Amino acid sequence: MAGTPFTFRLVTPQRLLLEAPIVSLEAPGSEGYLGILAHHAPLITPLRPGRLDVRDPAGVESSYAVSGGFLEVSANRATVLADTAERVDEIDRSRAEASLKRAEARLNDASPRGADASRGDAASRDIDRARAQRSQERAKNRLAIAKG
């Protein structure tokens, strides 16, 4: 049983990855994974880095790595506005591994960054640390999804 189709769009600032009828969507919401089917109640929610799965009317499932963004559901349409997204088969594992190593090195580096580095400003260190943590989370997500 395929289910009733609804329109889905997956968009990043760089490109439209997918615009197609689908029968189900599983997205990494900020509070956990969300399942979306046709005629879902209106919804707007932030997304966290994770795996986004869609199933088309023929039952074929496609998976994407998303690094955050928003999901909007309204009028039997679902739109994901992702910070970044890529199909599983597009993930460059060696690039993701290199990104993970860089992020971990930045997290292990106690030296301050940014314009206030000469003063050793704690806010500067916090900003760099938060950015490195987000980078680490994105890289781990991409690697986990690429491995299956």
Domains of the chain, residue spans: 6-87, 92-147
pLDDT, average across residues 10-17:
96
pLDDT digits (tens, 9 = 90+) for 79-88: 999 999 998 8
pLDDT digits (tens, 9 = 90+) for 62-78: 999 999 999 999 999 99
Name residue 7's beta-bridge partners.
21, 77
Which of these CATH numbers, 3.50.50.60, 3.40.50.12780, 2.60.15.10, 2.10.70.10, describes 6-87?
2.60.15.10
pLDDT of 54 > 80? The answer is: yes
pLDDT, average across residues 119-132:
67
pLDDT digits (tens, 9 = 90+) for 33-52: 999 999 999 999 999 999 99
What pTM value is reported for the model?
0.75
